[in-house]
A and B are shown apart, each in its own frame.
Chain A
Amino acid sequence: MMKHHCQRPEAPRRIVILGARGFIGGAINARLAAEGMSTVPLGRAELDLTATDAASRLKSILQPADVLVVISAVAPAKTVPMLIGNLHLLEPVCEAISRLALSQVVYVSSDAVYADDSNPVTENSYVAPSTIHGMMHSAREMMLRSSTAAPLAILRPTLAYGPEDPHNGYGPNRFRRQAEKGEPINVFGEGEEQRDHVFVGDVAGIASLSIAHRSEGIINVATGNSISFRQVADMVAAQYDGRVRVVSIPRPGPIPHLLHRFFDITGCYKSFPQFSFTPLRAGLKLSMQPVPR
């Protein structure tokens, strides 16, 4: 359960968002702006974290009492150079925030930090990443934790989907693209792996609440409902009035070691009791419309 430094929601003076032009960053920025919060959205064009002067530039942007949201990453990190590159991206951030009295730092991490486990994942589950991507996020969490005295909120979203997702990862986004092209939706094997899929607007919603309450601690951003890829594919296909088929294709590799992942989201119920997640069917419909920016 997160610790709220503001029991009643209270807008911070300003929120600086690193990685605001990305899929999740964009959704968070749009949500905060729609709620009337003052944001400073920064993408690579505004602040290149690989530049040698990135730390000093960020220092000149940040003001005491700001909330800083950190999302910038080259994701998913699949290789060792990507891992190292992502850690380097955060180095100037850590340097810039180490002596600043920020109101809060929010880091958007990933559920990939958790060990593969048959038990439902909670915020108390073991952090033992089995992928480079998970290791990258785990290391970056630690980098931030050791660099700031401000309350640190770590959001660990599971598989996020929604409009404008630039990735074509296996799941709702790819299924929708295949359907839009009039192609069959391909599922690997029987598509039996069960996963939790969270609408990107809900990731933004939890981020907004975490900021409004200046929350500290870890929160998983998952709906608590896991369903098979086959069911997701069928739901997407159903939105195209029977014009799209779901086709089983051979798996590119062996069946994943972690066949299913479930979440126990009691921590979210306790931290943000009035928040409700968008049901997958409704989220898929929303994904067919562009998000207003």
Chain B
Amino acid sequence: MSGVLVGFAGMTHLGVNSAAAALAHGFRVVGYDADAGVIEGLRRAEPPVLEPGLPEMLRLHASRANYTADVAELLHCDLVYIVADVPTDDAGKSDLASIRRLIEAVSGALARSAILVVLCQVPPGFTRDLPLPSERLFYQVETLVFGQAVERARHPERIILGCADPSAALPAALAEFLSAFACPILPMRYESAELAKIAINCCLVSSISVANTLAELCERLGAEWSEIVPALKLDRRIGQHAYLAPGLGLAGGNLERDLATVLKIAGETGAEAGLISSFVRNSRHRRDWVLRVLHTEVLPSSSDATIGILGLAYKENTASTKNSPALALIECLSNWKIQAYDPLVAGSSVSHPRFVSGARPEDAVKRADALAVMTPWPQFRSLDLEAVASAMRGRVVIDPYRTLEPGKVVGAGLDYFTLGARPLRGKRRSDT
């Protein structure tokens, strides 16, 4: 067990998973959050966020964890990570006021030699402007991925560290902590590290935008994007882990935030960022794909259609609905009846005059004129498609993420619409 005591301020998605990773690497941890309810839950190994394997890990290492709602308990920490959420508005712009308040509160509680590391998504220039001694102040890039957060926090590809002086040796406690992750450590100036985070996300958005653009071409040409993807991934210049799955634009908030930041900085400095504007435009265009299919295939011929929605969360394995395509779709369907099911998101989070939330997937399907699988929850893969076809009034299944097996959908007599391929028309029972 290491002697380094690591504090985490903000028991957010990022905070809890980062703390769990530190525990897993043998460190003692202080987890601080002003919300006493969150702290009580953590003491019972019940985190406020859903992540596969997270409760088990918290339970396993509970003896080395101290969760507290008292900021003063950070006093004995050798280093403290700021891991609060940075809220964004609808345009993806960050509101930094709350994180500044947290840093002020935490830095007032720190020991004189303690190190403070900002691990949140902040714009370039933020860390250097903080009123703290530069030799004790660092910025570290986080690469949280919802649904894979534990694994990524435990085994990062590399650690990108923003410093006042990248050539100086790291403080002993920080060096000991980071070396436990057994990956390359890349010290660089604060601004470079802050921009590196944005650069990573811009590269991801670039891949997503390419996939979305070419998937749309596939839909019109009769090509299959799913056939093309393996060819791209075997290209060393692109790689196995490239983000090439087409989707309904960007969601979740973090990628959008970085695009907004780049556009803001470009606007303030005179840099050319037309490419970023194109990413934003493409994302908005693809987000409405399901709405366009509904208006083309279902709504003109059925003025009182019922639309079934499977999945409300912005992605699987999370209860987050920030920028959720499902909610964006529902907002545009106020004239029609919506019946939905999500394993985690409560129906009460949806504002719609004719919205019904069910307890089972079947509740979303019953007598629906069209069914849209808006979140690729794994359990939807095992739906009995013959039963779905029998329960539905209409024939249209819209499955942007290819959660269902296209052949089985068509085999059940349903029409199948997915991203990156031409629609497949169901085999009608009378055809056989």
Query: Which residue numbers of A lie inside 8 Å of B, CB to CB?
Result: 120, 122, 124, 224, 264, 266, 269-270, 273-274, 276
- B295 A269 Cβ-Cβ under 8 A: yes
Q: What 0/1 readout, one digit per residue, does chain B (90-134) give for beta carbons within 8 Å of chain A?
A: 000000000000000000000000000000000000000000000
- B285 A269 Cβ-Cβ under 8 A: no
A274-B303 contact in complex given A269-B291, A269-B295, C-beta closer than 8 Å: yes
- A273 B333 Cβ-Cβ under 8 A: yes
- A273 B285 Cβ-Cβ under 8 A: no
Of all chain B residues, the one with the shortest Cβ separation from A267 is B288
A266-B303 contact in complex given A273-B332, A273-B335, C-beta closer than 8 Å: no
Distance from B306 Cβ to chain A, minimum over Cβ atoms (Å):
15
| In the complex, chain A residues whose CB is within 8 Å of the CB of B295 | 269
Contact of B332 (CB < 8 Å), options: A124, A224, A270? A270
- B285 A264 Cβ-Cβ under 8 A: yes
Mostly, the A contact residues are loop
Query: Which residue numbers of B lie inside 8 Å of A, CB to CB?
Result: 281, 285, 288, 291-292, 295-296, 299-300, 303, 332-336
- A269 B300 Cβ-Cβ under 8 A: no
Of all chain A residues, the one with the shortest Cβ separation from B300 is A276
- B291 A266 Cβ-Cβ under 8 A: yes
Of all chain B residues, the one with the shortest Cβ separation from A269 is B295
Question: Considering the chains assembled together, what is the distance between the CA atoms of A276 and B335 in angstroms?
Answer: 14
A274-B335 contact in complex given A264-B285, A266-B292, A269-B292, C-beta closer than 8 Å: yes
| In the complex, chain A residues whose CB is within 8 Å of the CB of B285 | 120, 122, 264, 266
Q: List 19 A-B contacts (CB under 8 A).
A: A122-B285, A124-B281, A224-B292, A264-B285, A266-B285, A266-B288, A266-B291, A269-B288, A269-B292, A269-B295, A270-B332, A273-B332, A273-B334, A273-B335, A273-B336, A274-B299, A274-B335, A276-B299, A276-B300
Known pairs A264-B285, A270-B332; list 15 more (Cβ under 8 Å). Answer: A120-B285, A122-B285, A224-B292, A266-B288, A266-B291, A266-B292, A269-B288, A269-B291, A269-B295, A269-B332, A270-B288, A273-B334, A274-B299, A274-B303, A274-B335
Distance from A172 Cβ to chain B, minimum over Cβ atoms (Å):
21
Distance from A126 Cβ to chain B, minimum over Cβ atoms (Å):
11
Shortest 7 CB-CB contacts between residues of A and residues of B: A276-B300, A266-B288, A269-B295, A273-B335, A270-B332, A274-B335, A269-B291
| In the complex, chain B residues whose CB is within 8 Å of the CB of A124 | 281
Question: Considering the chains assembled together, what is the distance between the CA atoms of A124 and B334 in angstroms?
Answer: 23
Distance from A96 Cβ to chain B, minimum over Cβ atoms (Å):
37
